[in-house]
Structure 1
Amino acid sequence: MADLDLEKIVAELRSWPGLVRKKFAGKLAELVDEFFGEDAGYFTLDDHEVVFTVDGIWHRVLEEDLYWGGFISILVNVHDVYAMGARARYAVNVISVRDTNALESIKRGMLDAAQKYGIKILKGHVHPDAPFNSVEVAMIGFAKKGCLIKSNTARGGDSIIVAVDTLGKPHGRLIFNFDSTDKPAEVLRRQFESMVVLAENRLVSAGKDLSNAGIIGTIAMMLEVSKKGATVELEKIPKPGNVDMVQWLKSYPACGFCVASDQPEEVKKVFEAHGLKAEVVGEVNSSKVLDLKYKGAIKTFYDFRKESVLGLF
């Protein structure tokens, strides 16, 4: 797909199921109220912010690789907690399986991920005779009081920085899962710690983890809930050499974030010191339109005045 023009890239990304499925989030907006659009909910307890999130793994992942489904059931929650500037600590789970072989594969993946990322699994529930395989995990973490990174607070004039671990490869047949988890635990944990440093030093105004919606889809969600727009330059996004542009923009990386900041050079230094490749890819504006720029061409990706990534209208 190296010869794709920008119009085709936009069409590919807008039709990506990982992004299209986000439209159903809006149907739950009234359930979570002020936390809608955030990577996790939170509340204050004494001198800490308690951050709480939950995720279920896409059936397409489990159909291809049960072990990996178990592994990322922990990883995606770690992402969500650290995206808020908190440290992920404890988890509970619900597993449904067709047979004991599936249960063992999912369990091994969860245990390996929990060990790598320092997560204590406190409780679980299993349905051993389900007509399908599924895994859901809820996770809790802690941040210093007043030191949370939210999704809906990007400001006009902020730089948009994308930071990601590009030293990995697509995971088997799941080519849109970019796997860089074969590093030592201390390396992986340090990458995530970058968001805590940014939060505690108040270096960013908003942020999200790079999710199943893809890199551009994640930026779009941050801008929509912030009621802002931007122009993002695709060629500036950090990218591994072993994945083409469109595949990469659709990918869920094992560690990656997008943030908005008026101190981009300081933010880049923090990310790079923690083992992530980081670049300024655009600037937040008040247009409520997300434009993409590629090889000199510019095209609108989403116009939040007329349409919603998150299904709000």
Structure 2
Amino acid sequence: MSSQQEPARTLSALAGRLRELPGLRGKADIQGPAAAFPHQPFPDLGPAAALGDDAALLPPAASPLLLACEGLHPALVADDPWFAGWCGVLVNLSDIAAMGGRPIAVVNSLWCRKASHGERILAGLRRASEVFGVPVVGGHTNLHSPYDALSVAVLGTVAGPVLSARAARPGDHCHLLIDPAGAFRGTSLCWDAATAAEPGRLRRQQALLPALAADASVHAAKDISMGGLVGTAAMVCEASGCGLHLDLEAIHPPEGVELEAWLSCFPSFGFLLAARPEQQSRLAERVAACGGLLLARVGAFTAERRLVLRQGVEEEEEIWSGEAPLTGFGALS
């Protein structure tokens, strides 16, 4: 072998190994998101804002930012991948809305064993992005994972006032705001009032919470999460340092739905609101103007740090006491 052939063979071998580098071949997984999402979510910002760069370039914000992140339940990701993708966007939008904010952009982290499974998740993400008008601007994709998992984050902005669960005070009324026009998704406790709804209706709902904050119809709110209505109520109590007497007779499930299921479910649009008694009429007017939503006064916040379920005049049961932490994020001293 000549001295000239040896470097060429060495280079060829090196190139062959580099072509097979797992980190390089794995980049092909990104073809899924590249096919799923529009490449220029913010055309006015030019080519630097196109998808595929190291970070997403976003429009400047004139007000404080909100950042929310959710991991999707493994069973949902495994059994209903399209809906998991949809929910990844929806639940974060509700978190942004709960603080009186409006969403700007979505990112996600997707891990799947099969590309076909990932495609269904991405399809759900894209549909929610289109329906709610919030672009997916980046993320991470691995289609050679030993497990299936999805996490989604949303960046938003809040012009104020900010709605914080910590702002609930003794004497406030607790209101349930929820979309009852739906059904349970399969055998899960997910109350789906969104996937078949008209997009304009869903966008009006998402815009309602910032409007309620802006005109002082409410001053505290929390999105009803996987903990259900009762679990969310306990989180509001912990964060605010208040108690809450929850009146079960004021909570009316949709026809055919048992009360326990309604108290336990994760609704696609559901919030607990805190408002002073004098705010109630303005709140009711705002909600009625949005259309299709149920607003019910379901209790009152108290100075005693405990969540109590009441049924009738005399029956009551304590669900949570402030003596023991729930999440660990209690009232600020």
State the TM-score, normalizing by the size of structure 1: 0.82
Partner of 2:235: 221
- How big is each residue's C-alpha offset from its partner over 1:22-67, in whole Å with a ceiling of 9 and x where there is no partner? xxxxxxxxxxxxxxxxxxxxxxx87412111111101121122111
Instruction: Supply the distance in 1 between the matched residues of 2:89 and 2:137 (Cα, whole angstroms).
Output: 13
Q: How do 1:95-110 residues align onto structure 2 when only pairs under 5 Å count? A: 95-110=110-125
Q: Deviations over 1:52-109 (max 9, x none)?
A: 1111101121122111111100011011001110111201111000001111110111
| Match in the other structure for 1:84 | 99
Computing the radius of gyration from Cα coordinates, the structure with the larger value is: 2
Structure 1 ranges of 4+ moved more than 4 A: none
> Following the alignment from structure 2 to structure 1, what is the Cα–Cα distance between the partners of residues 77 and 143?
16
Given candidates 297, 300, 306, the residue that maps to 2:318 is 300
What's the CA shift for 1:259? 0.8
2:295 counterpart of 1:278: yes
Q: 1:110 to 1:286 in 2, by over 3 A?
A: same
- CA shift, 1:202, in A, is 2.0
C-alpha separation in 1, matches of 2:124 and 2:272: 27
Q: Is the 8 A contact 2:239 2:329 kept in 1?
A: no
1:209 aligns with 2:233: no
Unpaired stretches in structure 1, ≥5 consecutive residues? 1-44
Higher relative contact order (CA 8 A, sep 6+): 1
3-state SS of 2:166 partner: coil
1:197-276 alignment to 2 at 5 Å?
Answer: 197-262=211-276, 263-275=279-291, 276=293
1:257-279 Cα distance to aligned partner (Å, 9 max, x none)? 11101012322222232231101
Q: Considering fraction of residues, name the structure with more strand.
A: 1
Partner of residue 193 from structure 2, selected from 169, 180, 196: 180
* Partner SS state of residue 167, structure 2: coil
Alignment-mate amino acid for residue 217 of structure 2? L
For the Cα contact (< 8 Å) 2:252–2:259, is it kept in 1?
no
> Which of 205, 208, 222 is 1:194 aligned to?
208
Q: Report the secondary structure of 1:48's partner residue.
A: coil
Cα distance in structure 2, aligned partners of 1:287 and 1:238 = 26
Q: Which residue of 1 aligns with 2:305?
A: 288
- How far off its partner does 1:238 sit? 4.2
Q: What is the alpha-carbon distance in structure 1 between the residues aligned to residue 201 and residue 99 of structure 2? A: 20
2:171 is the counterpart of 1:171: no
CA shift for structure 1 position 311: 4.2
Go from structure 1 to structure 2 and tell me whether the alpha carbon gap of 1:46 and 1:252 turns closer, same or farther (over 3 Å shift). Answer: closer
Q: Which residue of structure 1 lines up, in the alignment, with residue 14 of structure 2?
A: none
* 1:162 aligns to 2:179 (yes or no): no
> Which of the residues 42, 48, 56 maps onto 2:71?
56
Contact 2:88 2:152 in 1 (8 A): yes
Equivalents in 2 of 1:272, 1:69: separation in Å? 30
Structure 2 unaligned spans of 5+: 1-59
Q: Counterpart amino acid of 2:283? A: V
Question: Residues 191, 238 of structure 1: CA spacing in aligned structure 2 closer, same or farther, 3 A cutoff?
Answer: farther
The question of whether the paired residues in 2 share the 8 Å contact of 1:237 and 1:281 is answered with yes
Identity %: 27
Is the CA contact (8 Å cut-off) linking 1:85 and 1:195 kept in structure 2? Answer: yes
User: Against the structure 1 CA distance between its residues 284 and 258, is the aligned structure 2 distance closer, same or farther, given a 3 Å change threshold?
Assistant: same
- Go from structure 1 to structure 2 and tell me whether the alpha carbon gap of 1:65 and 1:142 turns closer, same or farther (over 3 Å shift): same
Residue 7 (structure 2) aligns with: none
State TM-score, norm by structure 2. 0.77
